[in-house]
Amino acid sequence: MSDTLPFHQKTIVVTGATKGIGLAIVEKYASSGANIAFCARSAAAVSALQSSLQQRYPQQQFLGLALDMGKRPEVAAFGEAIKQFCKAVDLLVNNAGVFEPGSIHTEAEGVLEKLTEVNVYSAYHLTRALLPAMMARKNGHIFNICSTASITAYTNGGSYCITKFALLGMTKVLREELKDHRIKVTAVLPGATYTDSWAASDLPESRFMQASDVADTIYAASVLSPSAVIEEILMRPLAGDIN
């Protein structure tokens, strides 16, 4: 049965994988037969997810590491661990990100640097680590989880908007660079999605998209024929963004 699943014997990598959109992506691809390397900052959450996945999908391989994608040496260590885990990555989802509200003129010193390290540099360095094997095979798909904040500046967005604009720019550059290498690149721009960060909101859950909506859409984009790529996925709650 497993060899009939679309991602049987394929390997995907997901950063920021133990909650929200990242977790939904892991669950979606695990159910499709994928071997998965993933990371998050919480050692307990990583261990619990790996145990759960291995129990439910004993014929697949899972590598979970607890690390901080905002620290370049730890990004490098994750890249090396992935290379030991598999010969090449079929699908990379750069999902790790952090949000801090604020305005450029009032936010604390160092916020821009912190958000840039997690939201931009982590994707840049991990992608660079994994690209050579993809390029050698002329195969692979990279999804960068951007945001509607990548295209719309909003009050109290501050450095978050800056970094998400930058991530979308990086994704566009990758798309152009990798065409001839037959590697697909997709920017995903989700609006308000119901995750832990919105749990304390007084808005009903129905006002938000579900993390599974984003995962299902990414999955649909990843199973197109080799001759097609969706360059950008823009998603918002039915009632519009939440400001």
* Predicted pLDDT of residue 120: 98
Give the pTM: 0.95
- Read off the pLDDT of residues 166-216 as tens digits, 9 standing for 90 and up: 999 999 999 999 999 999 999 999 998 988 767 667 788 888 999 999 999
* Predicted pLDDT of residue 155: 87
Closest to 127 measured CA to CA, from 160, 67, 100, 167: 167
Residue 2 scores a pLDDT above 70: no
Cβ atoms of 45 and 21 within 8 Å: the answer is no
**pLDDT averaged over every residue in the chain:** 95
Tokens, residue 209:
């998209």
Closest to 123 measured CA to CA, from 141, 100, 97: 97
* Predicted pLDDT of residue 206: 87
To the nearest 10°, report the CA torsion of 104, 99, 15, 215: -120
* Predicted pLDDT of residue 242: 82
More confident residue, 205 or 10: 10
* Predicted pLDDT of residue 127: 98
Task: Please give the domain boundaries of the chain with CATH numbers for all domains.
Answer: 2-235 (3.40.50.720)
* Predicted pLDDT of residue 156: 86
- Read off the pLDDT of residues 86-121 as tens digits, 9 standing for 90 and up: 999 999 999 999 999 899 999 999 999 999 999 999
Closest to 198 measured CA to CA, from 210, 216, 189: 210
What's the average model confidence in pLDDT over 137-150?
96
* Predicted pLDDT of residue 227: 96
Residue 1 scores a pLDDT above 60: no
Q: Which spans in 117-230 are helix H?
A: 122-137, 158-178, 211-222
* Predicted pLDDT of residue 201: 75
Percent of the chain with pLDDT over 90: 87
